[in-house]
Amino acid sequence: MKWTTILAMSVFVTCGASSANEPPEIYGLGALLPVTLNDAPEPTVGAALPGVVDLRPWTVPIGQQGKTNSCVAWTIAYALVGWYANRNQVADPLYSPMFMYSQINIGRKRGYDGGAYPADGFALAKTQGNAVGATYSQPDKMNWTSQPSARDKVDAKFHAIKSHTNLFSNPDGSGGGVNGRVAIMSALAQMTPVAIAMRVRPEFAALSSQQPSHTKTTGIVMGNHAVLAVGYDTAGLLVQNHWGENWGVKGFGHIAWEVVEHDVFVADTIVPNDVFYNTVYRFSNAANNKQFYTLDHVEGVKAGYRYQGVEWRTMTTAGKGRREIFRCYIKGTDNSRFISIDPSCERQTSEGTYGFVYSQQYNGTIPLYRYYSPKTGERMATLDTNEGNSKNYRLEMILGYVTH
């Protein structure tokens, strides 16, 4: 199957082209050459690989790194970790690349935008985690000068990776050869996207819907860039870039196998954490001061409610000792809602699930209480017993035990 077939689900767009005498304009790069040599492994004898792999159904929206040299963070924190969050149905799978890049940019202490080593990005994703973009204290995706807050680091810990594996790395910038190509294909065939770093030539920078495939190993090397490999066909590798949707075909490009073997000098995969978390945001309704809990930060903002912070986290998958909790709408009211462990929402209207909480208390978890007001009929969820008692509510139940 050819590249045009793989792209059948995409919408083609027209990109502006440079003249024949001018190098194409490119956005930021920033992938630094590794310091350790790790040769690609010899392929397993007799191992058969599928002819086509396409992992795009779980990719996050195409990003835009602008002129900053933050491609490593966009590839790891945004695209790669986001891919796993999407696949595991995390409600808000968009992570902030600046949480990572502000800390691994080699020029951060001297005030310049110097790029980053992929190995440093993976180390940070494991030890510190990844900040959810909606609540990261520095929302500007180009701002690498501001450091994360203490609260950012607490939140990011819930979105750490378990481990990472370097498939190969060449400090001289040369490609991984046939063995490197097979290593990338083998990972993709196991439903594992691959973060790669490569030398960038003019043809790659100029990819468009008219010329979606990078086939040449000639031309000046304009710098080094990190992207996410999300599939392949018989002719080459499918990658997700972060130069906006006007690059390639709606932000995706194709790299011929010859180029992969010649110019891709680093390839890495990750193992995500065993537990994926939804973040539950707390808002209050300015009109009646009632709580409003949502997994979608944008929903609360668009409704004009007052954001009060991250209240708790729920797990995205069922498991032993876990129970599901639901968001319920009270029929005939003005946006009155409550949280229930009943899938039918206690004869009200179910608006879906928040995720799963523990049914008993473990170390590191706290009770999620539900209170009832006989005066107003409101049911309030809170982690703070003082909040319920101070408003003369009656404790109804413990919905479960959550992380905060």
- C-beta separation of 197 from 265 below 8 A: yes
* Full-model pTM: 0.87
- Separation of alpha carbons 304 and 300, rounded Å: 7
Identify whether the C-beta of residue 282 lies closer than 8 Å to the C-beta of residue 50: no
Q: Rg for the chain (alpha carbons), in Å?
A: 24
Residue 132, amino acid: V
First to last CA, the chain: 48
Return the closest-CA partner of residue 357 out of 396, 300, 318: 318
Contact criterion met (CB below 8 Å) for 291 and 309:
no
Decide the pairing of beta strands 252-256 and 236-240: antiparallel
Q: What is the DSSP string of 222-289?
A: -EEEEEEEEEE-SSEEEEE-SB-TTTTBTTEEEEEHHHHHHHEEEEEEEEE-S--EEEEEEEE-TTT-
Torsion of CA 47, 44, 238, 201, to 10 degrees: -150
Return per-residue pLDDT of the chain as tens, 404 residues.
334 334 333 322 222 233 344 445 568 999 999 999 999 998 876 668 899 999 999 999 999 999 999 999 999 999 999 999 999 999 999 999 999 999 999 999 999 999 999 999 999 999 999 999 999 999 888 999 999 999 999 999 999 999 999 999 999 999 999 999 999 999 999 999 999 999 999 999 999 999 999 999 999 999 999 999 999 999 999 999 999 999 999 999 999 999 999 999 999 999 999 889 999 999 988 777 788 899 999 898 888 899 988 889 999 999 999 999 999 998 877 768 899 999 999 999 999 999 999 999 988 899 999 999 888 888 999 999 998 887 789 999 999 999 88
Residues in the chain: 404
Name the residue among 210, 204, 205 with its Cα closest to residue 12: 210
* Domains of the chain, earliest start first: 26-37+51-272 (3.90.70.10), 277-402 (no CATH)
Q: How far apart (Å, rounded) are the C-alpha atoms in residues 373 and 359? A: 24
